[in-house]
Amino acid sequence: MTNPAYIVDVGSETFSNSVLKDSAKTPVLVVYWSPKVSPSMMLVPRVIRFTTQCNGRFRLALFNIDDAEPFAREQGITRVPTIRLYRDAKVVDTLESDDSEAGLRSFISKHVPLRGASRLYAEAVKAYGVGDSDRGLQLATEAALMEPDNIQTPIDVVKLLVLAGRFEQAEQLLRAMPPAVRDDLELRNLMAHLSFIRVSLHAPPLGSLESTISRDPSNLDARYQLAASKVVKNDYEGAMQQLLEIARRNPGFRDNAGRNGLLALFHMLGDEDDRVRRYRPLLQESMH
C-alpha cells in the first residue's frame, strides 16, 4: 500500500530538503531505525499508523541508518530506534524510551495541536447535518482510529455509514474490529442488521417472493430473502416466521441461517419482547 504524501523515506542526500527545509513549514517527525534492530521493526508500523491517524498534521520521515551510518552519527544518533521532532531546521524534542502509541501521542501533542476524538466526532456530526457526508465520514473514521478501545465511536461510525448507504464499508469496518470488541451486544446487533440489509438489497419485491414461496414452499433462498426484506421493513414477526420455517426444513441451510437469523433478532429485540418469548421455544423445538 502506498503511503500518504506526508510519510517519506529519507537519507543523507534528501535530509536537507525533506527534513530541515520542510520543517520550516510543518513539524517533521524523524524516526531513525534499522531493519536489523527488532524494536525498530516494531516501532515503524506503529508510528506510520499513528501518523496516518493524525491525517497530515505533521510530516513523518523514516531514516534507515543502515544506508547512511556516518551521517546518522554526525546527527548525534547513538541508538536506534530514536525519534526526533524538527521545527525550523532544529531538533525540538527527542524520544528514545517510550515507543507506545500513547507515548507517541504525548510526545507529539507537546508540539503539534491534535484534535481529540470527541471533538472530531462532533465535527463529523455537524458535517452530516449540513449534508457533507464525505467529510463527516472522514472525520468520524479518524475519531474511531484515534480511540481504538472506545467501542461507541466505531459503532457511531458504522451508523453513519449505514445512513449514507455505504453498507459494504460498514460491514468491513465491523469485521475488522478485534473479536473481543465484535462480541459487544450492540455491535453484534449491527452486524446482524447489516447482513439482512445486504440480502434485501438484491432481493425481488415482497410480492414476488411471496408468490415464489406459495408455488414452491421448499425454496429456502426465497424465504431467506423474504425474511431479510421483512426485517428491513421492521416486520420482525414476519421475518421470524420465515427464519423458523428455514430452520425446520433445513437446519444447515446457509451455515444455519435460519437459527442464526432468529438468534440475531432475539438479540436485537431483547428477551422481554413478546415475539422473542414466543419464537425462542419454537426454535428450540425445531432443533430436536
Q: For residue 286, what pLDDT is reported?
A: 83
Domain boundaries along the sequence of the chain: 7-109, 117-174, 201-286
The lowest-confidence range among 140-144, 223-227, 240-244, 279-283 is: 140-144
Q: Is 212 left (phi over 0), alpha (psi -120 to 50) or beta?
A: alpha
Q: In the chain, which residue ranges form alpha helices assigned H by DSSP?
A: 15, 38-53, 69-74, 101-109, 117-129, 133-146, 152-163, 167-176, 179-182, 185-201, 206-215, 220-232, 236-249, 257-269, 274-286
Number of neighbours of residue 208 by Cβ within 10 angstroms = 13
- Percent of the chain, pLDDT > 70? 81
The correct answer on CATH 1.20.1250 for the domain covering 201-286 is: no
Find the mean pLDDT for residues 189-193: 76
Residue 32 reports pLDDT greater than 80: yes
Q: For residue 123, what pLDDT is reported?
A: 75
The lowest-confidence range among 64-68, 81-85, 107-111, 205-209 is: 107-111
Q: For residue 50, what pLDDT is reported?
A: 79
Residue 121 φ then ψ, to 5°: -65, -35
DSSP string spanning 91-157? EEEEE-S--SHHHHHHHHHTTS----HHHHHHHHHHHHHTT-HHHHHHHHHHHHHH-TT-SHHHHHH
Cβ–Cβ < 8 Å for 30, 11: no
Q: Which CATH class is domain 7-109?
A: alpha beta
17 contact partners, CB below 8 Å, separation of at least 6: none
Q: For residue 2, what pLDDT is reported?
A: 59
Q: Which CATH class is domain 117-174?
A: mainly alpha
Q: CA-to-CA distance for 13 and 31, rounded, in angstroms? A: 16
Cis, peptide link before residue 81, omega less than 30° from 0 = yes
Find the mean pLDDT for residues 203-219: 96
Task: Give me the sign of the Cα torsion angle 119, 121, 126, 132.
Answer: positive
Q: How far is CA 10 from the centre of its chain?
A: 30
Q: Is the pTM of this model over 0.85?
A: no
Q: Is 55 left (phi over 0), alpha (psi -120 to 50) or beta?
A: left
Residue with cell 465491523: 174
Q: CA-to-CA distance for 23 and 7, rounded, in angstroms? A: 13
Q: How confident is the model at residue 129 (pLDDT cuts 50, 70, 90)?
A: low
Find the mean pLDDT for residues 29-54: 85
Q: For residue 223, what pLDDT is reported?
A: 96
Q: For residue 40, what pLDDT is reported?
A: 81
pLDDT in tens, 98-122: 667 667 877 887 887 666 666 676 6
Q: CA-to-CA distance for 241 and 261, rounded, in angstroms? A: 11
One fold for 7-109 and 201-286: no
- Residue 59: helix, strand or coil by DSSP? strand
Q: How confident is the model at residue 1 (pLDDT cuts 50, 70, 90)?
A: very low
HSE-up (13 A, CA, CB side) for residue 180: 3
Residue 9 φ then ψ, to 5°: -95, 135
Find the mean pLDDT for residues 167-172: 74
